[in-house]
Amino acid sequence: MSTGETTDAALRRRRLAGAGTQLGTEVSINFGSSLAGLVIPVVGSFVVVAVRQLVMVAVVLPFYRPRRASLTWRRLWPAIALGVVLAVMNLAFYESVHLLGLGIAATIEFLGPLGLALVTSRRWLDVACALAAGAGVVLLIGPGASDTASIDPWGVALALTAAVSWALYIVLTRRVAVGLPGLEGLTVASIVSLALLLPFAVVTFDAGAIDWRVLGLLLGVGVLSSALPYSLDTYILRRITPRLYAIITSFGPVIAAGFGWLVLAETFTALEVVAIVVVCGAAGTAIATQRDRPKSTLERTAETIP
């Protein structure tokens, strides 16, 4: 076997490992969201999101502690903005899960990154995919839905807020990654998000509602939705392309609906199932048909690094 064939086989194994791990993180995030759906009625969304952010801070802070000399507004404003968006996104999403159910909330929220991916496109196929995704959401919550009376308008508004916040999160994360080294940006954003949420969590906290089961659920949400996926993202993105990462992510609403059924006892009509599949299919088609730009020598070299 030639050296080239050996290298290609190693790269294929790396991609498979990366793709498998990414699928695992999607399962982890959505399982964590389903646990959040169980505990939100007991302690409220503010407490759940605050605990999630507390776990994330505990994970990233040991790797980076901000130095006072570097804490300038010009340098840190993107990370501070990211922290605000992170708080709004998680709070809006979890509250929409409480009002709409996990499957519907996750499908609406996914319009954010899908819209961001398509907004700069000039292809007719992408326009068709955007229209298909919009039609899927209309099927899910619009006048033609089989159980429109059960759709909470405030829940839809919160899910759409989470969608816009997710798109902003992606834009700001790119800005933070370029402007701040290592985990500095994520650490600052996590601290800002926790600082915003903590006062509301303290005010709404009911000590009488806490028992070992609730504590276990809260810890599970933090680990499954924050600590585990964030810690694995670097490993994943070193092994697969951003496009493959996005394709796997596009199946998140289907995974969310599955956990909504298994954990939260949510039920879906045939029309709702079709709507969720249409949104995921539109996203997957739009992303899978994008053309990859040629890789630089540096990127090709990085692929060979374990």
Residue boundaries of the structural domains of the chain = 11-303
User: CA-CA distance, 124 to 130, in Å (whole number)?
Assistant: 10
**Residue with the two structure tokens 């969201």:** 33
Phi, psi of 296 (to 5 degrees): -75, 165
Residues 6 or more apart whose Cβ sits within 8 Å of residue 286 = 114, 117, 118, 121, 125, 126, 129, 130
Question: In this structure, are residues 92 and 165 in contact, taking their beta carbons and an 8 Å threshold?
Answer: yes
Among candidates 74, 63, 80, which has minimal Cα distance to 185? 80
Residue 261 carries which side chain, given as an amino acid letter?
A: W
pLDDT of residue 262: 93
CB burial of residue 32 (10 Å; 0-12, 13-18, 19+): buried
User: What tokens were used for 118?
Assistant: 């398509």
pLDDT of residue 45: 92
pLDDT of residue 202: 92
Q: pTM of the entire structure? A: 0.81
Question: In this structure, are residues 103 and 266 in contact, taking their beta carbons and an 8 Å threshold?
Answer: yes
Sign of the alpha-carbon torsion through 79, 234, 162, 164: positive
Other CB atoms closer than 10 Å to residue 21's CB: what's the count? 18
Other CB atoms closer than 10 Å to residue 71's CB: what's the count? 10
What does DSSP assign to residue 226?
I
CB burial of residue 84 (10 Å; 0-12, 13-18, 19+): middle
pLDDT of residue 167: 86
pLDDT of residue 304: 43
For the segment 16-61, what is each residue's pLDDT rounded down to a tens digit? 877 788 888 889 999 999 999 999 999 999 999 999 889 888 877 7
pLDDT of residue 157: 93
pLDDT of residue 243: 66
pLDDT of residue 127: 78
pLDDT of residue 46: 93
pLDDT of residue 200: 92
pLDDT of residue 296: 46
* Per-position pLDDT tens, the chain of length 306: 455 556 667 777 877 877 788 888 889 999 999 999 999 999 999 999 999 889 888 877 776 666 665 666 667 788 889 899 999 999 999 999 999 999 999 999 888 877 777 776 667 877 788 788 888 888 887 665 545 456 788 999 999 999 999 888 878 877 776 666 656 777 788 889 999 999 999 999 888 888 999 999 999 999 998 878 876 765 676 677 766 777 788 888 889 999 999 999 998 888 888 889 888 888 778 777 766 555 444 344 444 444
* Helix residue ranges per DSSP H, 122-227: 124-141, 153-179, 184-204, 212-222
Residues 6 or more apart whose Cβ sits within 8 Å of residue 85 = 165, 168, 169, 172
User: CA-CA distance, 129 to 114, in Å (whole number)?
Assistant: 9
Among candidates 133, 159, 165, which has minimal Cα distance to 33? 159
User: What tokens were used for 104?
Assistant: 């519907």
